[in-house]
Amino acid sequence: MKTNDVIFQTIAKVVFFMIIFFAVHLFFAGHYHPGGGFVGGLLTSGAIVLLMLAFDMKTIKKGFLIDFKWLISLGLLFSAGTAAGSLIFNVPFFTHAYDYFQLPLFGKTSLHTAMLFDLGVYLVVIGVTMTIIQTIGESE
Protein backbone atom coordinates (compact mmCIF):
# COMPACT_ATOMS: atom_id res chain seq x y z
CA MET A 1 0.00 0.00 0.00
CA LYS A 2 1.31 3.41 -0.98
CA THR A 3 1.75 5.49 2.14
CA ASN A 4 0.52 9.05 2.17
CA ASP A 5 2.05 11.34 4.79
CA VAL A 6 0.10 14.50 4.05
CA ILE A 7 -1.45 14.87 7.54
CA PHE A 8 1.84 14.31 9.35
CA GLN A 9 3.78 16.61 7.00
CA THR A 10 1.28 19.46 7.27
CA ILE A 11 1.16 19.23 11.06
CA ALA A 12 4.96 18.98 11.26
CA LYS A 13 5.30 22.21 9.27
CA VAL A 14 3.01 24.05 11.71
CA VAL A 15 4.35 22.51 14.90
CA PHE A 16 7.97 23.11 13.86
CA PHE A 17 7.53 26.88 14.26
CA MET A 18 5.78 26.50 17.63
CA ILE A 19 8.68 24.41 18.95
CA ILE A 20 11.32 26.74 17.50
CA PHE A 21 9.72 29.83 19.07
CA PHE A 22 9.38 28.06 22.40
CA ALA A 23 13.04 27.03 22.20
CA VAL A 24 14.09 30.64 21.57
CA HIS A 25 11.88 31.73 24.48
CA LEU A 26 13.55 29.14 26.77
CA PHE A 27 16.98 30.31 25.63
CA PHE A 28 16.33 33.97 26.42
CA ALA A 29 14.42 33.19 29.64
CA GLY A 30 17.40 31.25 30.98
CA HIS A 31 18.79 34.03 33.18
CA TYR A 32 15.70 34.73 35.30
CA HIS A 33 13.48 31.66 34.77
CA PRO A 34 13.98 27.93 34.17
CA GLY A 35 15.53 27.33 30.78
CA GLY A 36 18.81 28.25 29.18
CA GLY A 37 21.15 27.16 26.41
CA PHE A 38 21.00 23.43 26.99
CA VAL A 39 17.21 23.00 26.99
CA GLY A 40 16.82 25.51 24.19
CA GLY A 41 19.36 23.68 22.04
CA LEU A 42 17.78 20.30 22.71
CA LEU A 43 14.33 21.65 21.83
CA THR A 44 15.64 23.26 18.62
CA SER A 45 17.24 20.01 17.51
CA GLY A 46 14.02 18.22 18.50
CA ALA A 47 12.12 20.45 16.08
CA ILE A 48 14.59 19.65 13.29
CA VAL A 49 14.31 15.93 14.09
CA LEU A 50 10.51 16.24 13.77
CA LEU A 51 10.98 17.65 10.27
CA MET A 52 13.39 14.82 9.48
CA LEU A 53 10.76 12.28 10.57
CA ALA A 54 8.05 13.91 8.46
CA PHE A 55 10.18 14.46 5.36
CA ASP A 56 13.32 12.65 4.32
CA MET A 57 16.86 13.62 5.21
CA LYS A 58 17.86 14.95 1.79
CA THR A 59 15.03 17.51 1.84
CA ILE A 60 16.07 18.72 5.28
CA LYS A 61 19.69 18.99 4.18
CA LYS A 62 18.55 21.24 1.35
CA GLY A 63 16.76 23.45 3.89
CA PHE A 64 19.57 23.65 6.46
CA LEU A 65 22.58 24.43 4.32
CA ILE A 66 25.11 24.43 7.17
CA ASP A 67 27.08 21.37 8.21
CA PHE A 68 26.12 20.80 11.87
CA LYS A 69 29.72 19.92 12.78
CA TRP A 70 30.61 23.56 12.12
CA LEU A 71 28.05 24.59 14.76
CA ILE A 72 30.01 22.66 17.41
CA SER A 73 33.24 24.53 16.68
CA LEU A 74 31.41 27.86 16.38
CA GLY A 75 29.75 27.31 19.76
CA LEU A 76 33.02 26.32 21.42
CA LEU A 77 34.62 29.45 19.91
CA PHE A 78 31.83 31.61 21.39
CA SER A 79 32.15 30.06 24.87
CA ALA A 80 35.94 30.13 24.99
CA GLY A 81 35.99 33.60 23.46
CA THR A 82 33.59 34.96 26.09
CA ALA A 83 35.65 33.40 28.86
CA ALA A 84 38.96 34.63 27.42
CA GLY A 85 37.62 38.10 26.63
CA SER A 86 37.76 39.00 30.32
CA LEU A 87 41.56 38.60 30.20
CA ILE A 88 41.79 41.68 27.96
CA PHE A 89 40.31 43.87 30.74
CA ASN A 90 42.85 42.54 33.25
CA VAL A 91 40.33 40.57 35.34
CA PRO A 92 40.34 36.78 36.06
CA PHE A 93 39.31 34.25 33.44
CA PHE A 94 35.51 33.85 33.12
CA THR A 95 34.65 37.19 34.77
CA HIS A 96 31.36 38.37 33.31
CA ALA A 97 30.13 41.93 32.90
CA TYR A 98 26.62 43.35 32.58
CA ASP A 99 24.93 46.69 32.22
CA TYR A 100 21.48 48.14 31.56
CA PHE A 101 20.72 49.47 28.12
CA GLN A 102 17.82 51.44 26.66
CA LEU A 103 16.92 49.42 23.58
CA PRO A 104 14.49 50.93 21.03
CA LEU A 105 11.85 48.16 21.04
CA PHE A 106 12.40 46.39 24.37
CA GLY A 107 12.89 49.34 26.74
CA LYS A 108 15.24 48.95 29.68
CA THR A 109 17.11 45.69 29.21
CA SER A 110 20.05 44.17 31.03
CA LEU A 111 22.61 42.69 28.68
CA HIS A 112 24.98 40.18 30.20
CA THR A 113 28.03 38.50 28.67
CA ALA A 114 26.84 35.20 30.20
CA MET A 115 24.30 35.22 27.38
CA LEU A 116 27.13 34.91 24.84
CA PHE A 117 28.45 31.92 26.79
CA ASP A 118 24.93 30.46 26.75
CA LEU A 119 24.76 31.04 23.00
CA GLY A 120 27.89 28.89 22.69
CA VAL A 121 26.26 26.13 24.75
CA TYR A 122 23.12 26.41 22.59
CA LEU A 123 25.07 26.02 19.33
CA VAL A 124 27.16 23.11 20.67
CA VAL A 125 24.07 21.22 21.87
CA ILE A 126 22.35 21.65 18.49
CA GLY A 127 25.51 20.62 16.63
CA VAL A 128 26.20 17.53 18.75
CA THR A 129 22.59 16.27 18.75
CA MET A 130 22.09 16.75 15.03
CA THR A 131 25.48 15.20 14.20
CA ILE A 132 24.66 12.11 16.28
CA ILE A 133 21.20 11.71 14.73
CA GLN A 134 22.39 12.32 11.16
CA THR A 135 25.28 9.87 11.56
CA ILE A 136 23.03 7.14 12.96
CA GLY A 137 20.28 7.86 10.43
CA GLU A 138 22.50 7.69 7.38
CA SER A 139 24.40 4.49 8.20
CA GLU A 140 22.83 1.58 6.32
Partner 1 sequence: MTVISDMFIVFLLLAGAFFSLIAAFGVIRFPDVYTRNHAASKSATLGVMCILLATFLYFLVEDGFFNSRLLLGIAFFFITAPVAGHLISRAAYNSGVKMWDKSVRDDLKDKK
Question: Residue 16 CB, nearest distance to partner 1 (Å)?
Answer: 12
Closer to partner 1 at the Cβ: 19 or 76?
A: 19
Instruction: Give me the residues that bind partner 1 (CB under 8 A), please.
Output: 1, 3, 7-8, 11, 14-15, 18, 22
Question: Residue 36 CB, nearest distance to partner 1 (Å)?
Answer: 15
Closer to partner 1 at the Cβ: 21 or 98?
A: 21
Best CA proximity match to 27, nearest among 102, 98, 120: 120
Closer to partner 1 at the Cβ: 50 or 74?
A: 50
Q: Is residue 120 within 8 Å of residue 82, measured between CB atoms?
A: yes
Question: Residue 53 CB, nearest distance to partner 1 (Å)?
Answer: 10
Question: Residue 111 CB, nearest distance to partner 1 (Å)?
Answer: 24
Closer to partner 1 at the Cβ: 3 or 102?
A: 3
Q: Is residue 93 within 8 Å of residue 113, measured between CB atoms?
A: no
- What does the longest C-alpha to C-alpha distance in the chain come to? 69
